[in-house]
Amino acid sequence: MKKIIITLDGYSSCGKSTLAKEMAHALNYVFIDSGAMYRAITLYFLRNHINWNDDAEVQEALKEINLDFDYNTTTGTSDMLLNDENVEVLIRDMLVSEHVSEVAANQYVRNFGVTQQQKMGEKKGIVMDGRDIGTTVFPNAELKIFVTADPAIRVERRFKELFAKNPNISVEEVKTNLEMRDYIDSNREFSPLRKAEDAIVLDNSNLTREEQLRTALQWVNNKINELVK
């Protein structure tokens, strides 16, 4: 069957990664969580006290960073490796979430991420989720999906996920972090979060995981049938 590139973009915590992972699994495609790459860079910057507002410092630091994904047989998905260290759990920490949007707004960080992401898509058969995947990384992707969900639902979902790991977290803290990230991600100068003109909107506020997966896979089928005609 013909392999395509599928992009999923959208605001924070609207279920992009969950859907992308399930689509990749169903299609036997590679799933790439591009946000994990920006999170790993942020972790490196925090650990090494890199000032992400200083372009010269950022460029030097990026030379020391090697990012990779490692398939985890237990979770059935890929873990983020930062210089060969598995940082999959660490990069989900609130401290990283608080700074990742500022780091991801730096133009050198963006070039670094985008170049690697484009290489990963060379063989097609990939589902990548992020903010600028359909607009900047793969502007010619065959299927682009823009995922949205009601803001209150997004906060609730994210809160439940974080509360399971850290019972001290408050709803207010989660809400503030999501609003801040959405604002920075949408208003930054270099490849801001935008819906690509040719992206299909998937509002999953009132959909179950199964329903949204079924809808998205139907779109994939339609697209592949259209392409082989």
Contact residues for ligand DC, defined by CB under 6 A: 12, 34-35, 38-39, 100-101, 104, 130-133, 181, 185
Indicate the residue among 21 and 181 with the shorter CB distance to ligand DC.
181
The residue (of 54 and 161) whose beta carbon lies closer to ligand DC is: 161
In the complex, minimum distance from the CB of residue 39 to ligand DC, in angstroms, rounded to a whole number:
6
Q: Which is closer to ligand DC, CB of 178 or CB of 216?
A: 178
Which of residues 131 and 144 has its CB atom nearest to ligand DC in the complex? Answer: 131
3-state SS of 73-121 is CCCCEEEEEECCEECCCHHHCHHHHHHHHHHHCCHHHHHHHHHHHHHHC
Residue 39 or 144 with smaller CB distance to ligand DC: 39
Tell the smallest beta-carbon distance from residue 198 to ligand DC (Å): 18
Residue with Cβ nearer ligand DC (21 or 39):
39
For strands 143-148 and 5-10, give the pairing.
parallel
How far is Cα 181 from Cα 12, in angstroms, rounded to an integer?
7
131 close to 195: Cβ distance less than 8 angstroms = no
Query: Minimal distance in Å, beta carbon 103 to ligand DC?
Result: 8
Q: CB of 134 within 8 A of CB of 117?
A: no
8, 128 Cβ separation under 8 angstroms:
yes
Q: What is the closest distance, in whole angstroms, from the C-beta atom of residue 90 to ligand DC in the complex?
A: 13
User: What is the distance between the alpha carbons of residues 115 and 138, in angstroms, rounded to a whole number?
Assistant: 11
Nearest to 134 by CA among 213, 190, 198, 218: 198
The contacts of residue 198 (CB under 8 Å, 6+ apart) are 134, 144
How many residues are recorded in the chain? Answer: 229
* The two structure tokens encoding residue 103: 């780091």
